[in-house]
Amino acid sequence: MTEHLNLDGDGLLLRLFIGERDQWHGKPLHQAILLLARERGLAGCTVSRALAGFGASSRIHTTKIERLSMDLPIVIEIVDAPEKVRAFLPALEEMVDNGLATSNQSRSTSTVTAAPEPAGGNGRSRREPLPGNALLAPRTGLA
């Protein structure tokens, strides 16, 4: 069965800044948040590991200094309808002891189609751009 997720319209983008070492019940916090967001049916969640950054302590964490690369910044971005993101906040408040959250209104202009994975597939969803949206169109050849 093919599942369509229409992301066209107003949304809320929530950004969480946490540390790579942060844990939740014995597993990495970023992984726990990602799995919970999927379980709750949120439209999208992306986890990114930063190259460098600092937080409230003003201590710089970077990949360039070995002793400071043990707790690199992690940025988690969650996007969906404002009411769904806001409903997810109490769970995040329980999970995150030390971090920062920001939110921005977002405007999405694409439809995502998740087709069943073919045998031997790579597990990726297929994007179908809205008519006239050339920026999201898949590449068809070499430029």
Domain containing residue 52: CATH number:
3.30.70.120
Number of helical (H) and strand (E) elements in the chain, helices listed first = 2, 11
Phi, psi of 84 (to 5 degrees): -70, -40
CA distance 36 to 45: 10
Query: Residue 68: inside a domain, yes or no?
Result: yes
Q: Block means of pLDDT (10 residues each) for the chain, length 143 residues?
A: 56 94 96 97 94 79 66 92 95 94 81 60 46 37 38
pLDDT at position 17 is 95
d(CA 14, CA 105): 9
Total number of domains in the chain: 1
Q: Which residue bears the tokens 């967001």?
A: 37
Q: What is the pLDDT of residue 40?
A: 96
> Do the domain assignments include residue 48?
yes
Range of the domain at 69: 9-107
